Structure 1
Amino acid sequence: MNMLRTAAVTAAAIGMTIGSMSAATAAPAPAFLSAKQLPASLTPWTGGSVKAGAAADFCTKKIAPKSSSKHRLFQTELDTSAHQTITVAGSEAKAKALVTKLRSSVNGCLKRLQQQYPTLKGTTKYHGKVSVEEGAYVYSVDTADPKVGSTDIALYSVGRDGRTVTVIGWSQLGDLSGAPLAGFKKTTKTAVAKLY
């Protein structure tokens, strides 16, 4: 009986040790941007808490899997907002495929907007690749609606580090000439670099 009890205790101890080792060697959760790492603004940025799922953005919604994504929202006092979604894919191949889907969704966003708002005018531009980890891609979606007299500019980037993908969106009233494109590229580089 003593031998059985000793064996059971030993097995339990070994199981606890293996479990502790697995927990210790588990990959850390990817890190989000802080408010101060967003492009400079006339009023300070504030950041919300990290929440489950992808950010509800028209150009990128329903692309990233909800179960493996988290997002954080940011805003200023002057109608400028931003968001970051991070998705940990099951493999590098799935992460690459997600990057392709996100880029395609951003690139085709203006056409989908114009289907909903026929009077909307605008342009989508690709602003190149940011050299960081497996790379990040930057776009702008510049829109104007003559019917209501509004103009809006949005910047997007999609980046990847291994099997982890992040998409960042930034928007405000105005057009591309007033957008902090260089600052947004710097934010993108920071975001991908600090994932791990």
Structure 2
Amino acid sequence: MRLTTRSLRAAATAAVAGAAALTMTAIGAAQADDAGVRVARQAGEAPPAQPDAAPYALLEAGDLPPAPTPWTAGPVTDGSGGERFCVGTRVPDTGSVHRDFFTELDTSADQTVHEAATVRDARRLTAELRDAVEHCAERLAEQYPGATVRERDHGRFHAIQTEMPGSSRDVNLVGVARSGRFVTVVQWGQMGPMESAPVGDFRDTLRTAAHKLR
């Protein structure tokens, strides 16, 4: 068969076009493979590190003894919260957080949590705080000679009633708990006599506070 110049030129053009198409296909496939590798690598990358959550939790408003009006929980704040009933400033400010609770009437509460450097330090602080609570009524009676002070020992916490001359009667419940390196002090108070204190409910509150340290 005789091939004309036009036929040869057309065949050459077709061959070049075919080669170019194969080249583009190969390049496209390589790019697709490379993109796939990049996507796979990105998908396999570890997510950015997140800040560590606190190893403990503080009480919420619903964990407190029932009150005539709803509890309001304040923010969790760094530090020990300054001087506290019975324990004073014995809880170190560094390594501590605290939260205050309020109602619309005359009932309030607070919690302080301290993270000690070692379990031994936590045990030592717990013993010091419990001793302070145990002898709180004695110190109040010495500090305020004209006041009437009553106390009841409930084991892990104490109920203390104070009545200053010309003032109202107040009752406070104060307890200390520990779990590992974490120590907490929980205090509840309101106007009223010793008999109005929610002893059973506060025992549950202190137990909950200890559980949340784990």
TM, length-normalised to structure 2: 0.72
| Largest Rg, 1 or 2 | 2
Amino acid aligned to 1:68: G
Instruction: Provide the rounded CA distance (Å) in 2 between the counterparts of 1:117 and 1:159.
Output: 28
In structure 2, the partner of 1:95 is 122
The residue matched to 2:188 in structure 1 has which SS? strand
In structure 1, the partner of 2:157 is 138
- Of residues 66, 69, 76, the one that matches 1:40 is 66
Q: Which moved more, 1:102-111 or 1:31-40?
A: 102-111
- Of residues 173, 177, 180, the one that matches 1:162 is 180
Deviation at 1:58, TM superposition (A): 3.2
Percent identity over the alignment is 39
In structure 2, the partner of 1:182 is 200
Checking the alignment, whether the CA contact within 8 Å between 1:54 and 1:61 is kept in structure 2 is no
Amino acid aligned to 1:31: A
1:64 aligns with 2:83: no
Instruction: Provide the rounded CA distance (Å) in 1 between the counterparts of 2:62 and 2:53.
Output: 26
TM, length-normalised to structure 1: 0.79
Amino acid aligned to 1:41: A
**Greater relative CO, 1 or 2 (CA 8 Å, sep 6+):** 1
Checking the alignment, whether the CA contact within 8 Å between 2:140 and 2:149 is kept in structure 1 is no
Amino acid aligned to 2:76: V
Instruction: Provide the rounded CA distance (Å) in 2 between the counterparts of 1:31 and 1:195.
Output: 6
Deviation at 1:195, TM superposition (A): 1.9
In structure 1, the partner of 2:13 is none
1:86 aligns with 2:135: no
The residue matched to 1:195 in structure 2 has which SS? coil
Instruction: Provide the rounded CA distance (Å) in 2 between the counterparts of 1:179 and 1:65.
Output: 29
Deviation at 1:66, TM superposition (A): 0.5
Deviation at 1:124, TM superposition (A): 2.1
Amino acid aligned to 1:144: E
Instruction: Provide the rounded CA distance (Å) in 2 between the counterparts of 1:62 and 1:83.
Output: 14
Checking the alignment, whether the CA contact within 8 Å between 1:138 and 1:158 is kept in structure 2 is yes
Deviation at 1:78, TM superposition (A): 1.4
Instruction: Provide the rounded CA distance (Å) in 1 between the counterparts of 2:166 and 2:205.
Output: 32
**After the TM superposition, which parts of structure 1 deviate over 3 Å for at least 4 consecutive aligned residues?**
26-29
1:49 aligns with 2:93: no
In structure 2, the partner of 1:119 is 146
Instruction: Provide the rounded CA distance (Å) in 2 between the counterparts of 1:195 and 1:164.
Output: 6
The residue matched to 2:150 in structure 1 has which SS? strand
The residue matched to 1:66 in structure 2 has which SS? coil
**C-alpha root-mean-square deviation of aligned residues, in Å?**
2.0
Instruction: Provide the rounded CA distance (Å) in 2 between the counterparts of 1:27 and 1:172.
Output: 34
Which structure carries more strand by proportion?
Answer: 1
